[in-house]
A and B are shown apart, each in its own frame.
Chain A
């Protein structure tokens, strides 16, 4: 009987453990963070998923085996079209932002990522972040991107083979962005930082605008938002709804 009890306890513990592990994955707030890797902002062109480092250059996705951490080994590359700018790993997928759209790769086999779909839009610069079944993408006009629109797009990726545009919110000069739980942070370049309430993930509600800083990219992690921009680095506490509390600043010279 005692033995049975023991087995039962072990079973419960392992089920709880699995649940916790799943929770950890689904709520991973930002770019990376798994397998002893760090967390990047949305503008990153490097991404680590477990034992693989991916880099995107304008036309190539490159794959490096880093099982031996100190000795990366190039393990091939994939041609991915033109002007790829950012990479965001999420669950078993890689989301690549480019000037012509978002590409989704399946990386269940991390060393052999395979293309699944491309969500195309007009020419713009555009990083992408993902949470749950939605991708948030900013499009920005800039000299390097020739033309385009300034907007935030919400794309349903529940079927990664057929990404579907759900909503568009017009922006001024969007750059990097970050998502964590019910908050979406969007850098607006010279026009500061916007915080959206995404309790309803498909219709972000503008909650707060910080207009006194220039912003390029963000990392939201454990209620601390790190912001980079021309003026330097700022860190904010975002634990209170509708509030950003400045924690510290590292100013440029």
Chain B
């Protein structure tokens, strides 16, 4: 069981603080071969460390890294209806009757009247932080709002409103690290708000961030 303990710990969602786990390091080295085997067979494993005062980590990329994009937590869970917006980074699509819904990755949903396929008409943009997925039943749209599931009444898309919110339905979407391996990143500071994404940054090789993944 022990190797699996290590395995899952390394695959966990929290950033490990090296000093907290010093006692594990020797054990880990013993298990390194097994770990590498699991890594190779698993492919999805990840490791995150906070490099307080230990030797430099095994990250090869010291040129570019990532920093968290924060949004004030009280704004993250505020769904608003706006006038139609331009498409910037379209994601998934969904159709219901004559409506076409286009996800703007991480930002919300463009609503179109698609009665005339040669001329879809933009009706509104429903701004939903962290939104990726959509489903509709009747006149209710279900969407992910970062960690929450929201049900939105769209009987009038220009006046869509949240009718139900299920908090913390998807707790794992807020991550303390970027979805990239072999990289340094600025550690998350919860006092700055909620992390809604990660921005690529150029690193100063003399002042590398404290957090990294390899």
Contacts and interface: CB of A to CB of B under 8 A. Distances in A.
A72 B164 contact: yes
Nearest to B110: A250
Nearest to B136: A38
Contact of A36 (B137, B142, B173): B137
B87 A69 contact: no
Secondary structure type dominating chain B contacts: strand
B88 interface: yes
B83 interface: no
A145 B89 CA distance: 21
A208 interface: no
Contacts of A250: 87, 102, 112, 120, 122
B135 interface: yes
A235 B117 contact: yes
Nearest to B162: A70
A248 B119 CA distance: 6
Contacts of A82: 42, 44
Interface string B78-99: 0000000011111111111101
B135 A53 contact: yes
Contacts of A147: 43
B179 interface: yes
A217 B93 contact: yes
B128 to A, nearest CB: 13
A228 B87 CA distance: 11
Nearest to A146: B43
Given A37-B96, A250-B102, A69 B140 contact: yes
B102 A39 contact: no
Interface string B102-135: 1000000000101001111010000000001111
Interface string A151-179: 00000000000000000000000000000
A224 interface: yes
A44 B135 contact: yes
Contacts of B133: 44-46, 55
A123 interface: yes
Contact of B95 (A146, A217, A221, A251): A221
A69 B137 contact: yes
A25 interface: no
Contact of B100 (A66, A145, A226): A226
B17 interface: no
Given A221-B95, A233-B90, A250-B87, A74 B169 contact: yes
30 contacts: A36-B137, A38-B95, A38-B99, A38-B136, A41-B92, A44-B94, A47-B135, A55-B133, A55-B169, A57-B170, A66-B137, A66-B140, A69-B139, A71-B151, A72-B149, A72-B164, A74-B166, A99-B44, A219-B93, A226-B93, A228-B90, A228-B93, A233-B87, A233-B102, A235-B118, A235-B120, A237-B117, A252-B88, A252-B89, A253-B86
Interface of B: 42-44, 86-97, 99-102, 112, 114, 117-120, 122, 132-140, 142, 144, 149, 151, 153, 163-164, 166, 169-170, 172-173, 179
Given A62-B169, A252-B87, 4 more contacts: A38-B136, A66-B142, A232-B90, A248-B118
By Cβ-Cβ distance, the 8 closest A-B pairs, closest first, are: A38-B96, A253-B86, A46-B135, A146-B43, A38-B136, A70-B163, A69-B140, A46-B133
